Structure formats: C-alpha cells, structure tokens
Structure 1
Amino acid sequence: MTALILLSLHILILVTFTTRILLRDDLSPQARLAWFVVLMVLPYTGFLIYFLFGEIDLGNKANTRHEMTFGLIRERAGSLMGAPENTDRMIDLTYRPAFRYAASINGFHPVDGNKAELMADAAETTARLIADIDAAENYVHVLYYIWLDDTTGVDVAQALIRATKRGVVCRAMADGLGSRAFIKSPHWQAMKDAGVKMAVALPLDQPVRALLTSRIDLRNHRKITVIDSKVTYCGSSNCADPEFRVKPKYAPWIDIMLRFEGPIVAQNELLFLSDWFQATDENLDDFMLTATSIEGGFPAQIMGDGPTERKGATPQLFANLIACARREITLTTPYFVPDATVLEALCSAAHRGVDVTLVFPKNNDSWIVAAASRSYYRKLLQAGCHIFEYKPGLLHAKTLTVDDKVSLIGSSNLDIRSFDLNYENNLMLQDDEVTGGICDRQMAYIEDSDPLYLQDVLDWPYRKRIWNNVIATIGPIL
C-alpha cells in the first residue's frame, strides 16, 4: 500500500512539473528536453532542482519597477541615451546591424566623442581607479558583483571613505551573493558609518520570496564605476585582487579593463542608476547628469541585459555582431556554454571564410562549464574555427573584436547564466586604435595558450567525450 501511494505521488509530481514545463513559452526546445532529462534521471531530487532553479522571473513587482525606472530615465535623461539616427551617422555600414540591435535592448544608441585607455594590468587598474576616486569633486558610483576584503577591495573602500569625508557623494552597491562576505565585514560597516550611501543588489535576506517567485541564483553580475560623469571603467574585473583568494587554485584571474571618458560615461551611469533605483527609493532629481564630447573621439554605446529585459537579447547581439564580420573575429571568455544562436553564428562565420579565433581557460574553476564547453570543440574545429586554451591562470577577460575595428567588452560570458540569469553590462565601440589595443592583448593571451586541433579532440578517450556530452545535454539549463 505504501509503495502504491509513493508511486502515485511520484506520477502526480512528474505530471505536474512536466505540464508546467510544457506550458512555458519562454523555454527553448533544448531547455525543455534538458529539464525532462533531469526529472527522469533524478526522480525526486530533480523536482527540487527545478523548484529552486527552473523559473527565471523576479516577479511582477520587479518587472514593473524596472519598466518604471527606465521610463523615468528616458523621460528625464533621454538625450544622454543617444538618438536612433546616430547609428547611420557614426557607424560604418557593415556594422550598423549590430549597433541597431544593441540599441533595441535598452534604448542606448551610439554617442560620439569618446576616448579610452586600456589598462596594462590589475595593478594599474586599481591605481588609476583609486586616483580617480581621490580626485572626485562631486560623486562616485560603484557597483560590483564580487567585492572582497583583500587589498584591492579594502583600498577601494578606503578611497570611498576619504571621498565622502571631503564632501563627495559616494554610492556603493554590491551583489548580495557574490559579495556576501564583504557585506558582512567591518569594511562595509565602516563605509556606512562614514556616510557612503550603500545598497545591496538582489539581497539574500528574502529566501522565501526567492523560492516562491524565481530562481534563487539570479544575480547582478555588473562591474560599473562612474566618477563625476567624466570617467567610467568597463571590463571584466571585479573589486578583488588577481590572486582571487576565494579560489586561489586557479589564480591569477586575468582581466581586461578600459578607462573611458566622453558621453559614454553618462550612459554607463544611467545603467548604474537603473540598478540603484531598483534597490533604493532615491529620486532621479537628486542626480546631475552631464555628457562632454571629446574632439576626435570614437562612437560607442552601452548595453545592459538581465532577467527583466527580453529573453535572448545578449546571444542575439553576439550573433548580430559575428554576422557583421568580414575578415576576422577573436573572442575570449572564461565560460563558454553557448546557445544555438551563438554557436551557429560562429560556425557560419568560419564557413564563409572569416578567421574565427576562440580563447578559453585551460583550467576552469567550474568543472561543469569546462566539460560542457569542450563538447562544442569538435563542431567548431570542423567548421574551421581556431581554439586556444590559456595556461598561466584563469582567463577572465570577456572580449569580442571584429575586423580590427569593432570591440565588445564587459561582464557577459558566453553561457546561459549571462544570457538569461544575470544582470550584465557591456560596451560596444568602433575605433581602430582602441580595438587594435584589445587585439594586441588578445594576441598576448594566445601566445600563452595551447592550440587545440581537431585531431586532438578526436583522440580524446571515449569516457572524456561521453562525459563532456552528458554535461552538455543539460547545458541549456546550467
């Protein structure tokens, strides 16, 4: 009798979750199949996994607040977002589709008159950042996914305290999960006590709400610093030492950061404010936003993505930019679990004769991502792509360069987490000199990498290939 009851309960739960999955129009066929596999292979644990991680929705309240926030930004600061006609005026015909698509996500269009400096390494990034904070006259805004209480994290915190004490308005925001230890540390409290305005993105103190309305692991993965509407930093670096002591086995973390001046600063600041308003009730009237063009500067635009934006925006942007390539594409990312949109775009580019080079870490801090990533190597290599695995540390730089002319940098990885779950910030620019500098950095990564050839993959043991493909089967829901 007990066995019959358990069997009936199992069938009821299976039917309920299967029906729920089939009713969801936001899932791709691959994701549905992956969830079915999880439910079948893990009869009871699978239900719990789906309950915790199956739904990607922050709830009506968060969606409504997001729409209201961007509506307010467009109403009061729309001129800083650029105009639709800027794309035709500023961007080469070949690359306009990608810039137009990026504009369709948040409403940020290309703005001209920007300049950028590529930071040499983590030490220069931190030194320049702290110098800019120490020179701030009006305000400093920072948002980090990971903020550690190491040398970099403490130095930035102390710089914000110094700025606040001399009358600069400082706003600091960190993700509730990625920076959970720092948020509980004395340094966070010291900033509060000094008068720094603090906020937590997606806090972890509301577990019931998270369980009932959404996945519990939706995160704010952005890395934004804005100073006096004059300077912004954009790239892959968190507020942490490259030794990244929470995962020292894979250190150093190899990041790329650029320091920007020009109207693009205001766009990045508006993206920061969209997150700040989500977490606080501060009024937009409290902010003085300006944009100053630099003579001879290049065009660029900001793109932000997240679970409150339309689904598929980031992979479609990557696919659009890849499709624009005429000669070469170089891509670096630590986490490569692409959806079909990006995978087929890369393969089709290689098939039409574009030189496609992909650089990934040789030793990844996520064994799941490493296995799933390598399941795609054979298809990519057969299409004619070149694959390199970086050896000296964990290559964390997220870069895409096209034809030595257009660059896309920021926080987005090429995996489902960045595509669907995280709030991300990216910057796309058109400039020969800046893109050339990023290409040189990419080449330095390649020089420290091992090349992977098709025969290498074909020679992998069967157990390794089977394992990679098993993990890739659930790739759409990783």
Structure 2
Amino acid sequence: MIYFLDHYWPHILAVLSTVMGVVAAIHATMTKRDVRAAIGWVGVIILSPILGAVIYAVAGVNRIRRASFIARRSLRHGHVAEMLQHYDVGSDAVENRFGGRMGALCHLGERVTRHALSSGNRIMPLTSGDEAYAAMEKAIDEASHSILMETYIFDRDEAGLRLAGRLIAARKRGVEVRVLIDAVGARYSVPSIVGDLVAGGIDVAAFNGKVISGLRLPYANLRTHRKILVVDGAIAFMGGMNIRKDFTGPDAARDTHFRVTGPVVSDLFVVAADDWHFETGEALQGEAWRVHLSAGEPGHAPFSRVVVSGPDAHLESNHRMLTGAFSVAERSIRIMSPYFLPDPIFLAALATAARRGVAVEIVIPSENNLAIVNHAMQAQFPQILRDGCRIFRSKGRFDHSKLLVVDDKWCFVGSSNLDSRSLRLNFEIDLEVYDEDFAGFVAGRMDARKQDAEEVTLESLHHKPFWLKLMQRVLWLASPYL
C-alpha cells in the first residue's frame, strides 16, 4: 500500500480532484437560483482543485433539507386547533379594513408563509435591553410548566448569567426547560454559557453544533438567528435582541423586542420546537408543552402572522414578503436596519416603488459594530440614492432594531436583517402586523432616530477619496457572505 501511494499519489490526487470538482460543479449548476452565483462557484471549483470543492461544501451549500415533524399547527395542537380557527383572518377581512392592496399582500402571505394570519393578538414593544430582559425574567420566574428558548447569542456576562440563573431556578421548581443556542453565537463568550446551564440541570443544545461528527459539514455556514422565548405555551418574546450586557445600562446599544400573547404564540412555539427536534431528535410533546391560548376578541386588530425564513422549506420567505409589500405600497416605505446589504432584486423592488412616487426612507446607524459591513453598505449608497430613495445615518448609540412599515398600515418586525445572510442563509423569525396603532409605534421609533440623523447625499459621496470608495466596493463583493 505504501509503495502504491508513493508511486501513484499524483494520479490519486488527479482522480480525487476531478471527481470532487465535477460533483461540486454539477451541484452548484443545478441548485443555484442566481446565474452569477452559479458561475462564480463553478469558477472557484475549477480554479482551485480540491480546495474549491471543499470551500463550496462549507460555504456554498445553502439549504438544509429537513422534514418538519410539526408541519401544521393543527397537527401538533389538536386541542386548540378549533379555537385557533376562530381567530384566523382572511384576505377579505384585511381588504375591508386596510384596502385592496393590503388584501393582496395578505393573499401573498398565505401562499408564502404557510401560517395563518390571526386576530386577537397583543404585541407589546420592549424598547431597551433593560426593559426586555426584565419582562423575560418575570415571565420565567412565573413559569409553571415549560420554557422553550432559542437564540443566536447568549453571552456569559452579567445579563446572560442573570437570565441563566432564572432558568436554572425554574428547572429546580420542576419546570421543563429547553435552550437552543446557535453554535456560532454560543462561542461569542469564552467560556460559553452552555456549561453553566448544563451544570444547573438545563437541557441545552447548540444549533448545527455537530457539523463534523454529525456529518453536517455542508451546513456549517447556516445559523439560527432566531430569538424566541415561549413560556407555558401562553407568552412569547421575539424580536432582534440577543442575550448580552451590551443592551443594558445607560450607554447601552439600542434594540427592539416584543412580548406577544394570542394565537401567534402557537406558531412561535412550533418554530422553536421544530428547531429543537432537528438538533436533538426530541419531540416536545406532553402536558407540559401544551399551548394555553391567551387572546383578545376574535376579529380584532392587530392582525398578525409569523413569517418563518431559512435555508430549508422556507427559503427566502422574508425576501418574498418584503418585495411583495414594496409592490403594493402607495405612499411610503420606511426601513430601519443595522445591516442594509440586500440583493439586486430587493433593491430593484425599492427603486420601482420610489419611481412610482412612493416615499422610501432607510435609517441605518452612523456607527456600526461591524466595520466591514459598514463599508460594504456604503458601496451601494450611490445606486440607492439615484433610484430615488433617501438614506439617513442615525447618530448616537448603535441601534440593532429591525423595523419596517408600509403606508402606516403594515409592519414587518423581528430578527431579519436586510442582508444576504438574513434573507438567504440564516434561520429567521419575523411578524407581519396589520394595524395602524402598531405602525404608528414603528414610525415613531424611526422618527426619533431621524431627529439626530444625517441624510446621505450624492454630493457627499462624490467627495470621498477614491481609495476609500474602491475599498468599499471590494468589500461589497463579499456581501453575500458577510
């Protein structure tokens, strides 16, 4: 064997390179939706034998094919399915209250999301980390049956250890507790909070944490960016906030989270339970995991729907909903996002709306926690401004909020950033909300940030040094994977 390898290793490498390259190139050609992405990956595979195929396996395979054990809420929650149906809202009801264009958007949501639009929900905004963590800790302290948590980052710092202590105390009271942390996000702290949770008796799992031993290497680039906490199947928290001390105190970064009750809690639980089952194989069933509906009157706004997105059966659901919303906008589209690096289709939808006379405003932080993303975003500014949109750079503390409102009627809030990672690679969770009062809150949040913001102009961009503009364009080339 040693003699064979010593004399024929060049031939073995040639065969291995050819086989790996052909398989990877065929996969890229057959699965990529964008022709430029397909050509780019095939080029990497051909020009970098073996290494190119390995890079493609790690970073280029962008879809997990997994079977959902809870495909529909009626299958999982038969005991509340009939009650939930009383809260379902159709496109006719939306059209009667919010107009024909919003009725069309509701119909799109039915086709894209696979979740019902429901009435009787209560959505309470939590506008700081101190407020959000206090509300979450209170719900955990009052839990009597179950706590299911999924998050991207759970730092082992003052905020994380305090929340972990509440979870451990709940477990000691006999509450069933499950915590799912993204494998990348779990490593933001060294040592990880996972050890503390396990020592306290909590069942913890790292999402996609076994990419080698679990043979999930092609999915190493795919992360859960969802932030979901469901307590006793009755109260849920979701939005953009991770668990870390950066969002607490007088000089904290800004973010927006939401406390939710009503029918959408059932769907939020289903999503997090699916992710837990995918990682651990455990189906969260039994009395402790029953959903206990706490809702307002059927037919009453806000009308809300869970929008599940991810590189699986829900690929680009958030992207489709947002471009659909832009197409029905009549007066205004207002966006707040910490990372604004969408693809050409998304930008084209915004540009088309602006050319129709829709006022398009985009609020992003002046200072960003990711310098590379900050520079890559600026490479797109000239195109966005020429298309008739307006950009505002808000000063002061970094704002991590992800908020969007159309015509002061329809909102989209949650975990999705407006970049390729969130719109294509990450597992995300958002809410679409039809309600003038809630839209007023979102618009007011943006107005507050615009008060100290500086509007970006083409003239100011023109006076930037050439080397800086070149660097930003180079970084922009990597935007699909930032």
Give me the TM-score of the superposition, normalised by structure 1: 0.86
**Partner-residue secondary structure (3-state), 1:127:** helix
Counterpart Cα distance in 1 of 2:388 and 2:461: 14
Deviations 1:121-161 (A, max 9, x none): 11111111111211223222211110001122111111112
Structure 2 spans left out of the alignment, 5+ residues: 1-9
Matched, 1:284 2:303: no
Q: Percent sequence identity over matched residues? A: 25
Question: Residue 323 of structure 1 corresponds to which residue in structure 2?
Answer: 327
Question: Residue 141 of structure 1 corresponds to which residue in structure 2?
Answer: 148
Q: Cα distance 1:84–1:117, how it changes in 2: closer, same or farther (>3 A)? A: closer
Mean Cα deviation higher: 317-326 or 9-18: 9-18
Equivalent of residue 110 in structure 1, options 114, 117, 131: 117
Equivalent of residue 120 in structure 1, options 101, 124, 127: 127
**Partner-residue secondary structure (3-state), 1:254:** coil
What is the correspondence of 1:46-125 to structure 2 with a 5 Å cutoff? 48-58=54-64, 63-64=66-67, 66=68, 68-70=69-71, 74=75, 76-77=77-78, 86-90=90-94, 92=98, 93-125=100-132
The alpha-carbon deviation at position 458 of structure 1 amounts to 2.4
Equivalent of residue 166 in structure 2, options 159, 162, 184: 159
Question: Residue 255 of structure 2 corresponds to which residue in structure 1?
Answer: 255
The alpha-carbon deviation at position 57 of structure 1 amounts to 3.4
What is the correspondence of 1:68-467 to structure 2 with a 5 Å cutoff? 68-70=69-71, 74=75, 76-77=77-78, 86-90=90-94, 92=98, 93-180=100-187, 185=192, 188-204=194-210, 206=212, 209-211=215-217, 214-242=218-246, 252-278=252-278, 279-286=280-287, 287-295=289-297, 296-467=300-471
Q: Cα distance 1:149–1:368, how it changes in 2: closer, same or farther (>3 A)? A: same
Q: Cα distance 1:73–1:154, how it changes in 2: closer, same or farther (>3 A)? A: farther
2:151–2:182: 8 Å Cα contact kept in structure 1?
yes
Aligned residues: 463
1:315–1:341: 8 Å Cα contact kept in structure 2?
no
Q: Cα distance 1:428–1:259, how it changes in 2: closer, same or farther (>3 A)? A: same
The alpha-carbon deviation at position 260 of structure 1 amounts to 1.7
Counterpart Cα distance in 2 of 1:41 and 1:256: 45
Structure 1 spans left out of the alignment, 5+ residues: 246-250
Alpha-carbon RMSD across the aligned residues, in angstroms, is: 3.2
Counterpart Cα distance in 1 of 2:302 and 2:464: 46
Deviations 1:172-217 (A, max 9, x none): 22112211366964x5344334443333221146357233xx1422
Deviations 1:255-296 (A, max 9, x none): 111212222222211211111221332353452113232134
Mean Cα deviation higher: 48-57 or 409-418: 48-57
1:216 maps to a residue whose letter is A
Q: Cα distance 1:85–1:205, how it changes in 2: closer, same or farther (>3 A)? A: closer
**Partner-residue secondary structure (3-state), 1:284:** coil
Q: Cα distance 1:300–1:80, how it changes in 2: closer, same or farther (>3 A)? A: farther
The alpha-carbon deviation at position 399 of structure 1 amounts to 0.8
Counterpart Cα distance in 2 of 1:8 and 1:168: 58
Counterpart Cα distance in 2 of 1:226 and 1:18: 40
Counterpart Cα distance in 1 of 2:248 and 2:19: 42
1:199–1:280: 8 Å Cα contact kept in structure 2?
no
1:21–1:32: 8 Å Cα contact kept in structure 2?
no
Mean Cα deviation higher: 72-81 or 157-166: 72-81
Deviations 1:353-406 (A, max 9, x none): 111111122233334433332222112111211101233233211111112221
Deviations 1:458-478 (A, max 9, x none): 222222333333333343455
Mean Cα deviation higher: 449-458 or 200-209: 200-209
The alpha-carbon deviation at position 414 of structure 1 amounts to 1.2
Q: Cα distance 1:11–1:234, how it changes in 2: closer, same or farther (>3 A)? A: closer
1:177 maps to a residue whose letter is V
1:152–1:239: 8 Å Cα contact kept in structure 2?
yes
Deviations 1:291-333 (A, max 9, x none): 2321344210101111112433221111011222211111111
Whose relative contact order is higher, 1 or 2, with alpha carbons under 8 Å and at least 6 apart? 1
Counterpart Cα distance in 2 of 1:123 and 1:103: 36
Counterpart Cα distance in 1 of 2:191 and 2:82: 39
The alpha-carbon deviation at position 106 of structure 1 amounts to 4.2
2:88–2:118: 8 Å Cα contact kept in structure 1?
no
1:34–1:477: 8 Å Cα contact kept in structure 2?
no
The alpha-carbon deviation at position 219 of structure 1 amounts to 0.7
